[in-house]
Structure 1
Amino acid sequence: MMRGQVVHLPLFLILTLILTFSAAYHIGVNYGTVSNNLPPPHQVVNFIKTKTNINHVKIFDANPGILTAFSGITGISLTVTIPNSDIVSLSKLPNARSWLSDNLLPFLPATSIRYIAVGNEVIATSDRTLIGHLLPAMEALTLALHLANVTGILVSTPHSLGILSGSSEPPSSGKFRRGYEKAIFAPILDFHNRTKSPFMVNPYPYFGFGPETLNYALFNSNDIVVVDTVTKLNYTNMFDAQLDAVYSAMKRIGYGDVDIVVAETGWPSAGEPNQTGVGLDFAATYNRNLIKHVNSGKGTPLMPNRVFETCIFALFNENLKPSISEQNFGLFKPDFTPVYDVGIMKN
């Protein structure tokens, strides 16, 4: 290009560039390490920064090697996870302050941390002690952040869709499990409302499809599959239906304004022998369509024009997971070769 030359880009190219750069804002990835063949964290971070459009990474602990590797990296934020086993201890403020001092404060502000996830799918454990200490731990960590003069880090906890009762179809009928609405979820959602932190969920259409609903689960149907007879709204994909069922449960107890973040979702590229709906093409189709859908800004039928921060599970295939399908949720092999292309690579 000659200096001073004015270039007029076609409108379609401008829109393509806008969509490409905005896509990175909404799509993150879960960086799991249940494997014995993964590259060291500094190589992983360099790969994410230089080769992909990913700008949010969720890790499943507070691994100091990973936090160090992200130090000084601009444009990529982290979710750090506290193991379920630490929840009871961290429900006490002195322990929460100690955990913060030991695990996060040494890395701030050089490492950009956006969320602390307290446990993972705690309600699904049915462990009454854990469940009873979940909100106190979230409150204690929030206060510990305040006392340490740390701003910009929000506290939440990811939930499986097992938090909903069995009668969450159609989506407008979604409600929390009986006995949990007022005792568990109203206080948790009140916490999110007060602290402006998001309600995190792990929707997996992969776990909810049958032979007749595979395309519905893969965002691969343009046809209306589900009609909500109450709202008269139409659903062409299961992801929207799952999120709207969660939203309906939240709204039912007065907290429909709390933001929703998708902490995990994904599809395996390999599975057990004769397992239907699993393979490279299925995984590529789901995640490619997921990214396109999330970044379209269209939202869901009950939450139109909303964009949900979404973290794909997972960055790598992890060879020490207990089953073949669990080992094969990764977007990349340990040598950084894409398992399949979903459009998150730069250039």
Structure 2
Amino acid sequence: MALHFLLLLFAVSLVAADEEPFIGVNIGTELSDMPHPTQVVALLKAQQIKHVRLYDADQAMLVALAKTGIQVVITVPNEELLAIGQSNASAANWVSRNVVAHYPATNITAICVGSEVLTALPNVAKVLVNAIKYIHSALVASNLDRQVKVSTPLSSSIILDSFPPSQAFFNRSLNSVLVPILDFLQSTDSYLMLNIYPYYDYMQSNGVIPLDYALFKPLPPNKEAVDSNTLLHYSNVFDAMVDAAYFAMAFLNYTNIPVVVTESGWPSKGASNEPDATIDNANNYNSNLIKHVFNKTGTPKRPGIAVSTYIYELYNEDMKSGPLSEKNWGLFDANGVPIYILHLTGSGAVLANDTSNQTFCVAKDGADPKMIQAALDWACGPGKVECSPLLQGQPCYEPDNVIAHANYAFDSYYNKMGKTPDACDFKGVATITTSDPSHGSCIYPGSLGKNSTYGNFTAPSMNSSSDSSAYNIHSCELRIRNLLMVTGFLILGVILL
């Protein structure tokens, strides 16, 4: 009995490990100069992207992805659905050619049967359920049904009255197709694939949805949207849409089907009638989305349960039809040059699309100022960081505050130690970022890139009890001045109280 319990516990732990939230990318191919599959894979590896979704099952891409460990979602294109939905044999051939022939060398984890079929191709919707079941049956026959999930990406537009989320429901005219799909997802332990685009929700709201609410920007409590039925507070469109999907499924009595967002993003360029398709907004949205997933914040309805998401998309697709914004959703151009550098403080190097591979060490948001001060003192003392640029009149003196000075000292130490993750900890008050904190004439060591060289030396531990005589005069001046500044803030706080 005890052994059985231990085995069960071990199985649960494996499931929990598999359910770690992730960020992936979609790879579209409508480029006039589409990179070779080996170039695509090289970019994925360089950016430490571990999850990708293909809009087809391109053989060259599947071969290039072999033995990389990257988890791959492939797609039955919409134009092939009619044939597969009407023929079990066609489905079996498709699985044999595109899954069996490549697995396990290529780590195929899921199949999208079509994409937004219910809204894009309503005349094909009648065969969608059959296509899903036939593909799954072919996986069963190949003994791959446990390794490869089957689902179909749905547009969030099929959810009506999405706010407040607790009142959301699916378009009832689609129930004859949607209910069998949900039955299938539940019976096979698969997940609901949902495409969420706050950009379009914002654009179509005629000013009702604030831009900051669409971009995941922090909002004061009085600016958050409140579900009057549950009293849950929503600070962004993304969470509201995910919860709307959960409530809509619950309305049909499905309460244990997880949601994976198969597409979400923001365009970086648009025409004159698309003023909010900008690099800044795209950067803010995607950066905030990535941090939201990795922070495991979850949604108000399911706090702590993060929703894995695929960013739309890896490359700008210049051959896309439609408005200018349609061509500009990518993180990179066709040459692998980033359209913008994501602000990913705290996310390490995952999806840090800075091809110069630059990372910096800075003070962590929300860290205790006293702990940051102590770490700054250590860096400029026992840590043997050259802190003279922080003295009055020197390039990095301004802004004259503990955070700014700590950022410089932390990054200097991080570079001295060869940018190892352990060198950017400082008892938990520091974190790695891809955003260069250099400003004006204050150039951080990390921004020197490959030209930055440091001699070998034995670095002391921040936990060691070094004699105060190890501090040089510059460090003492900084420490005293920063202590006076902190004391002044404390006194001011007492006065205000």
Length-normalised TM-score, structure 2: 0.62
Larger Cα-atom Rg: 2
Aligned partner of 1:34 in structure 2 is 30
**Bigger shift: residues 152-161 or 82-91:** 82-91
Q: Partners in 1 of 2:121 and 2:35 — Cα distance?
A: 35
The answer as to whether partners of 1:266 and 1:286 remain within 8 angstroms in 2 is yes
Residues 112-191 of structure 1 aligned to structure 2 (within 5 Å):
112-125=107-120, 127-128=122-123, 130-150=124-144, 151-165=146-160, 167-181=161-175, 183-191=176-184
Work out whether 1:215 is the aligned partner of 2:209. Answer: no
Q: CA deviation at 1:38?
A: 2.2
The answer as to whether partners of 1:32 and 1:316 remain within 8 angstroms in 2 is yes
The answer as to whether partners of 1:200 and 1:263 remain within 8 angstroms in 2 is yes
**Bigger shift: residues 279-288 or 337-346:** 337-346
Aligned partner of 2:313 in structure 1 is 314
Q: CA deviation at 1:169?
A: 1.5
Note the alpha carbon deviations across 1:255-280, whole angstroms, 9 max, x for none.
12101100000000000124221100
Aligned partner of 1:232 in structure 2 is 231
The answer as to whether partners of 1:29 and 1:311 remain within 8 angstroms in 2 is yes
The answer as to whether partners of 1:25 and 1:55 remain within 8 angstroms in 2 is no
Aligned partner of 1:3 in structure 2 is none
Work out whether 1:327 is the aligned partner of 2:327. Answer: yes
The answer as to whether partners of 2:194 and 2:259 remain within 8 angstroms in 1 is yes
Structure number with greater CO (CA < 8 Å, separation at least 6) is 1
Aligned partner of 2:92 in structure 1 is 97
The answer as to whether partners of 1:268 and 1:326 remain within 8 angstroms in 2 is yes
Q: Partners in 2 of 1:320 and 1:59 — Cα distance?
A: 17
Note the alpha carbon deviations across 1:226-270, whole angstroms, 9 max, x for none.
110000111110101111111110011111210110000000000
Match 2:194 to one of 201, 211, 219: 201
**Percent of pairs with identical residues:** 38
Note the alpha carbon deviations across 1:131-172, whole angstroms, 9 max, x for none.
11111111111110110122400101000012112x222111
- Superposition CA RMSD, Å: 1.6
Length-normalised TM-score, structure 1: 0.89
Work out whether 1:85 is the aligned partner of 2:79. Answer: yes
Q: Which runs of 5+ in 2 are unaligned?
A: 1-17, 345-350, 360-497
Work out whether 1:43 is the aligned partner of 2:39. Answer: yes
Work out whether 1:336 is the aligned partner of 2:336. Answer: yes
Q: CA deviation at 1:221?
A: 3.4
Aligned partner of 1:192 in structure 2 is 185
Q: Partners in 1 of 2:324 and 2:162 — Cα distance?
A: 30
Residues 206-285 of structure 1 aligned to structure 2 (within 5 Å):
206-209=199-202, 210=205, 211=207, 213-223=210-220, 224-285=223-284
Equivalent position SS for 1:273: coil
